[in-house]
Every structure is written in structure tokens, then in C-alpha cells.
Structure 1
């Protein structure tokens, strides 16, 4: 099974539980892995035979800049559902979202949420 990956997409968003997170916002990073049978579907060097990753990025950008959630788990679930509806020919999507400015004590790089799903019927 082929895989299309877009790694470390970054967006300034306004997600978080605390009022200052929702007011000031913070950077989120995302990795998306799209399961797609490249080996059998892409036969003629034609963008219409594959998943256009510029379109994937545009869907993600539109979603994360127009929606705000207290939990990045909610953001991940809703964004995954949106991607699965917009790209029904994929066999599955794995989405990771990293939040760097997490208001908790300790030394760490980020908190990461990972969700995975497939279009209905697959």
C-alpha cells in the first residue's frame, strides 16, 4: 500500500482550555499520512490519479484557521473526519497533531495526539 506523507505542517491556532491560549493562540504542528494505492492508481503521471497534497494542505489550513477547540483531541477528531469526507478515495488517514506551548510543569518538547481512520465502507 502506498503512503503519501506531509510532515511538520505548522499553523498558528487558537485552541486550548485556558483563556490566554484561546486569546493569544499558539503554534501547532501536524503530520499526515495518507494510505493510497499509488502502485495501482498512478499509471499515467497524472495528478488526477493521485491525492493532490496541495489540496490536502489547503483543507487542513482552512479547517484549523476557522475552528477552535479546547482540546486538541477534538481538533484531531474533527479534522480527521473532514479529511476523510473531502478525500473519499483514500484507504485511510493517520493524523498527528503536536502542541508545543502546553501549560503544565516539566521539561518536554510537546504533547502529541494521534488519530487514524478510513472512509465509510473501507
Structure 2
């Protein structure tokens, strides 16, 4: 099974629990992986035989810029639903979301959540 990945899409968003997060915003990074039988489906060097990662990127960008949640878990779950519906030829989709400016004590790079779902044929 092939995998189409887009890594480290970055967005300035207004997701978060605390008022300062929702007012000032923060950077999120998103990775998406779409399982797709590339080996079987792509035979003629034709975009119609695959999933356009430009379309995936556009779908994510539009969703992230028009939705705001307290939890990045909610953002991930809702985005997953949109991608599964929008790209039904993907057998599975996995999304990772990293949040960098997390208002909690400690030394760390980011927090990350991951969700995955399958399209049933």
C-alpha cells in the first residue's frame, strides 16, 4: 500500500482553551498521510489516477482557517471527517497536529496529537 504524505503544513490559528490563545493565536503544524494503492492505481502518469496533494492541502488550509476549537483533538477529529469524506479513495488517513506555544511549565518543543480513520469500501 502506498502512502501520500504532506509534512509540516504550518498555520497561525486561534485554537486553545485560554483567552490569550484565542486572542493572540499560535502556530500549529499538521502532517497528513493518506494510504492509497499507488502501485495498482497509478499506471499512466495521470493525475486522475491518484490523490492530488494540492487538493488535500487546499482542503486542510480552508478548514483550519475557517474553524476554531478549544482542543486540537477536536480540530483533528473534525478535519479527519472532512478529509475522509473528501478523499474517499484513500483507504486510511492519519493526521498529526503539533502545537508549539503551549501555556504550561516545562521545557519541550511541542505537544502532538494523532488521529486516524478508514474509508470503508
Which TM-score tier does this pair reach, normalised by the shorter chain? over 0.9
Please state whether the residue corresponding to 1:12 is helix, strand or coil: strand
- Unmatched 5+ residue regions in structure 1? none
Partners in 1 of 2:83 and 2:6 — Cα distance? 13
How many angstroms does 1:67 deviate by? Answer: 0.1
Partners in 1 of 2:35 and 2:99 — Cα distance? 24
Q: Residue in 2 aligned with 1:61?
A: 61
TM-score normalised by L of structure 1:
0.97
Please state whether the residue corresponding to 1:58 is helix, strand or coil: helix
TM-score normalised by L of structure 2:
0.98
After TM superposition, the runs of 4+ consecutive aligned structure 1 residues lying more than 4 A away are none
Partners in 2 of 1:20 and 1:54 — Cα distance? 33
Q: Residue in 2 aligned with 1:2?
A: 2
Q: Residue in 2 aligned with 1:92?
A: 92
Partners in 2 of 1:25 and 1:66 — Cα distance? 14
What is the aligned residue count? 121
1:34-66, Cα deviation, whole Å (9 max, x unpaired): 100000000000001000000000000000000
Partners in 2 of 1:6 and 1:68 — Cα distance? 22
